Amino acid sequence: MSEAKLPAPTATQQTLLARILQEEIAVLKSFLTALDAERRALHSNDPAAIEAAVTEKNRIADQLQGFERQKLRVVASTVAGAESEQKAVLTAWQRLPPLADAWHAVCQLARQCQERNQENGVLLREKQHFVQQALDVLLHSQERLNIYDDKGQSRLTLTGHSRKIGSA
């Protein structure tokens, strides 16, 4: 479907799309806040805070996915074709003067969210690397100094002799 043949949105469709875009802007701002909370939680090394932040981020991400479906339903009332055609019409309509500013804000906020999420991902991978290095050191140390046996009993192994900790 070429842009010259695209149907124009009705006033009702423009109003619905404008409302959806405004809601999407508000939720994207909430997503940025959740990403900031996730970053603070990662810096604080607080597992409960990290879990809460990730849960909130995922809840908002699910909400964001719903906006695309809502917008496509508005277009579907005019364009009965394939989803790819509906997406092309939606993209064109969002660039029209009544919706363009809101669409630009959505795109800008989405880019900020993507960048912040990538930054958090880098931070998370750095933290995971540090924890893995610490575990490697501890596990290697465990091989040299076996304090517990396979039954969980405290044992100290030094130069091949085995005795219970605290015994002479």
How confident is the model at residue 160, as a pLDDT?
47
- Tens-place pLDDT, residues 19-57: 999 999 999 999 999 999 999 999 998 999 999 999 999
Give the separation between CA 97 and CA 100, rounded to whole angstroms. 5
The boundaries of the domain holding residue 43 are 3-129
Domain assignment present for residue 156? The answer is: no
pTM above 0.85, yes or no: no
How confident is the model at residue 149, as a pLDDT?
66
The CATH number assigned to the domain holding 124 equals 1.20.58
Give the separation between CA 150 and CA 19, rounded to whole angstroms. 63
Give the separation between CA 101 and CA 63, rounded to whole angstroms. 22
Domain assignment present for residue 165? The answer is: no
Q: How many domains does the chain have?
A: 1
How confident is the model at residue 72, as a pLDDT?
94
Low-confidence ranges of the chain (pLDDT < 50): 157-165, 167-168
